[in-house]
Amino acid sequence: MQSGITIRAMEAADAKRFSDAFAAQGWQKPEKQFLAYLSEQESGSRYCLSAEKDGEIAGYVTVLPRAAAGPFAQLSLPEISDFNVLIRFRRLGIGSALLSAAEEIAFRFSDTVTLGVGLHSGYGAAQRMYIKRGYVPDGSGVWYEDKPLLQNAICRNDDDLVLYLSRQR
């Protein structure tokens, strides 16, 4: 792991730290979202990891032991879900470290790990990272608002327009 990067289980104090840090960069990630994740972590339905760089909160990722939606939900495969690195901490190896830790958790449940990635340019760095790490599209096409998008259908290029990928151990 790169110097100064710590990956650990998300803690209650992280909820406010993340909410404040994302608000500072203009993103709406309410504290209650992270508290809900922590509640799911306590029940075993989600794993949550936080990243710090030199003691500052830098990013997080969550892992669902079973995908809740999309093409992998019916297959009971684990899904890496809600993965974010604060803008000022990007290109420092934090995303890669978080993804490696998330994959370790996912591989406890299956030899296949899955995820969905948005298609607009805001997801460009994530798209490139996933492909470089061996993730491939599942073949079900593009999904919009948790449903397969039919050919010739009209959609909006927002966070709900997703391509699902998977990677074998």
- The reported pLDDT for the residue numbered 131 is 96
pLDDT in tens, the chain (169 residues): 468 999 999 999 999 999 999 999 989 899 999 999 999 999 999 999 999 999 999 999 999 999 989 999 989 999 999 999 999 999 999 999 999 999 999 999 999 999 999 999 999 999 999 999 999 999 999 999 999 999 999 999 999 999 999 999 9
Using alpha carbons only, how large is the chain's radius of gyration in Å?
16
Q: So what's the pLDDT on residue 44?
A: 93
Residue 149 belongs to domain spanning: 5-168
**pLDDT score for 2:** 61
Question: Helix 31-43 and helix 12-24: axis angle, to 10°?
Answer: 150
Cα 72 from chain centroid?
15
CATH of the domain at 137: 3.40.630.30
Q: How many domains does the chain have?
A: 1
pLDDT value at residue 3: 81
Torsion of the alpha carbons at 115, 118, 119 and 121, rounded to the nearest 10: -120
